[in-house]
Structures are given as C-alpha cells and as structure tokens.
C-alpha cells in the first residue's frame, strides 16, 4: 500500500488551482478528501504526477442559498452536508443518501464534490444528484447532471477544469424522499441503490424522480418508472407494478456481490420499496 511518487501542490484560489492543473497537463489530479483517490494510489491503480489539493480554495467550501437553489461547495464534507440546515430543509434526500456513505471516518474526510467527480456508479450521491437534475458548476462552465457522468469513473470534466460545487434546485423540498441502499455490510458499496423523490397530491402521484446506483457504468434514471407512476395512485400495488420496469435500459455489472440478473431484479423490488417509503404508504 505504498503509492508511487508524486508532487503535491495546494493552491489557495480557484485560479491557482486551474493553472496548476493546466501546468500538469494530463498528469495532474485534483485531490479533495482523498477517500476515493488515496486507495487507488496506494493500490498503484493510478499514477498521477501531481496532486492538486483544493482544500484551501475558499470558493469550494460550504453550502450557499441562491434563492431557488442551493450551491453545495465541492469541498463540503459529508459530515458537514449531514449537519447543514439548508440541506436538511431543501434537499433532505441528499442528507438521507449521505448518511449511508461508508462510515463516520470516511464521512468526516470525504467530500460531496469529490465523491461526485469520482463518477463512481456505485457511489451513493451520483444517483441522487441525477434524480434532482443538479447542475455541476465548474471553474469554467455549468454542466447538467444528465451530461456529467460519461462512463465508469469518468466525468465530462476537462483535465484543467475544477468542480466548484453542485447546484441543487429547491423545487423538491416538499417532495417525499427516500434512499434505498441494498448492501451486504454497512460499509460496503451498494449492490443497488435507489434514490427516490415523490410529489404527492392527495392520493395521486404528481411527479417522481428516480436515480439508480450501480445499475450501469454511470448512475441512471428510471425514466420508465417515473412516467408510469405519474398521475397514478400512490399505493404499494401501483408502485410495484410501475417498478417492474425499473431495470429497463440498464446494463448493470456482474461481480462477486451480485450478477446483473440479480441486480435487475433488485432494482424492481427496491424501486417499489423506495417509492412506497418516499410516498409514505
């Protein structure tokens, strides 16, 4: 568990961070909380020549109220996200999913932006941000969540682009929410996870957002289920029927924690449960 050698820089502004990345060319890597990157370095699965530590870039910290949305700074730790009153009020699904990330030690070091930029489809937050139509704010542009996750561990961030934060709409504040994580041990990654938001008016479902964790090389939306529940009854039977199409269009991995067939099956069961929990039925 000894990483290869690398240089380390710690810029104190966003401009400095961008220029450090630019100087490093293809050999630079941003380090945030290090909870994903350091294991990769120590297992010698990654060999960046320069680590650019963005911990001292002030723009990246904290959660800001922007009126109709929140901007969650990329360097905000999971622990701080969990305790943040704005998150709790306007984006409780984020808090629910964050509370399931790894263990307390990781949640104290790991960051919101770091885990999203890592673009791990088994991570808990990508499916949440995708379901919420979050917007990734970078040093140079804004990227809608639907365009951010390109492939396994690959985002559409350019090599010289720094993730500043993620804009989360407040529009879902009144919606029912639930993050259903299925894993074998508390510290294990999700075999499948379902991030779910449900807007109920009376007995009906006015709208639903569903993001799936670890059902492909990127987080995916269960669009067919979203469409199927819209305008329908908010009850378990309806949810179960709608959730039957949860795995439609997905290509989940097969690994020693579960086969792709099993994951497809889980997606249907867990999506039904997540909808019920989010709708409170």
Judged by CB under 8 A, the chain residues 88 through 147 that form the site for other proteins are 103, 118, 120-123
**Collapsed DSSP state (helix, strand, coil) of residue 42:** helix
The whole-angstrom separation of Cα 222 and Cα 224 is 6
Q: Decide if residue 8 touches other proteins (CB under 8 A).
A: no
Name the one range near other proteins by CB under 8 A: 57-65, 85-93, 223-231, 248-256: 248-256
Nearest distance in Å: CB 70, other proteins? 27
User: Cβ 117 to other proteins, closest distance in Å?
Assistant: 13
Q: Which residues contact 14 (CB under 8 A, 6 or more apart)?
A: 57, 59, 60, 139, 162, 164
Residue 157 in the binding site for other proteins (CB under 8 A): no
Residue 37's alpha-carbon distances to 46, 103, 118, 152, 206, in angstroms, are 8, 17, 8, 15, 40
Distance, CA of 239 to CA of 268 (rounded, Å):
10
Cβ distance to other proteins smaller for residue 201 or 256? 256
Task: Decide: is 39 part of the binding site for other proteins (CB under 8 A).
Answer: yes
Q: Which range touches other proteins (CB under 8 A), out of 20-28, 183-191, 197-205, 228-236? A: 183-191
Q: Which of residues 61 and 257 has its CB atom nearest to other proteins in the complex?
A: 257
163's CB contacts (< 8 A; 6+ apart) are: 30, 74, 113, 116, 117, 136, 137, 138, 157
Q: Which two tokens stand for residue 27?
A: 């050999």
Q: Which of residues 57-86 bind other proteins (CB under 8 A)?
A: none
| Residue 187 found at the interface with other proteins (CB under 8 A) | yes
DSSP tag of 3: P
Distance separating alpha carbons of residues 89 and 175, to the nearest angstrom: 11
Both tokens of 71, joined, read 């901007």
191 scored as a contact of other proteins (CB under 8 A)? yes
Binding region for other proteins (CB under 8 A)? 1-2, 4-5, 36, 39-40, 42-43, 45, 103, 118, 120-123, 152-153, 182, 184-191, 214, 216-217, 251-262, 265-266, 269-270
């Amino acid at each position: 568990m000894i990483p290869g050698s690398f240089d380390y820089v710690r810029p104190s502004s966003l401009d400095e961070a961008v220029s450090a990345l630019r100087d490093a060319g293809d050999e630079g890597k941003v380090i945030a909380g290090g909870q994903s990157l350091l294991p990769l370095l120590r297992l010698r699965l990654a060999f960046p020549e320069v680590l650019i530590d963005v911990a001292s870039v002030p723009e990246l910290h904290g959660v800001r109220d922007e009126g109709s949305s929140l901007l969650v700074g990329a360097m905000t730790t999971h622990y701080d996200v969990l305790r943040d009153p704005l998150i709790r009020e306007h984006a409780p699904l984020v808090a629910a999913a964050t509370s399931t990330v790894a263990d307390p030690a990781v949640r104290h070091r790991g960051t919101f932006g770091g885990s999203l930029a890592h673009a791990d489809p088994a991570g808990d937050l990508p499916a949440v941000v995708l379901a919420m139509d979050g917007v990734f704010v970078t040093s140079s542009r804004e990227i809608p969540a639907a365009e951010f996750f390109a492939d396994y561990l690959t985002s559409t961030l350019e090599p010289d682009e720094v993730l500043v934060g993620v804009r989360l709409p407040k529009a879902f504040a009144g919606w029912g929410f639930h993050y259903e994580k299925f894993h074998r041990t508390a510290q294990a990654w999700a075999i499948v996870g379902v991030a779910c938001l449900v807007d109920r008016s009376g007995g009906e479902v006015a709208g639903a957002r569903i993001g799936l964790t670890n059902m492909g090389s990127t987080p995916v939306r269960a669009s067919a289920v979203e469409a199927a529940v819209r305008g329908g009854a908010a009850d378990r039977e309806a949810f179960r029927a709608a959730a039957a199409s949860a795995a439609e269009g997905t290509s989940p991995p097969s690994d020693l924690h579960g086969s792709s067939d099993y994951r497809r099956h889980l997606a249907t069961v867990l999506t039904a449960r997540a909808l019920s929990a989010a709708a409170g039925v």
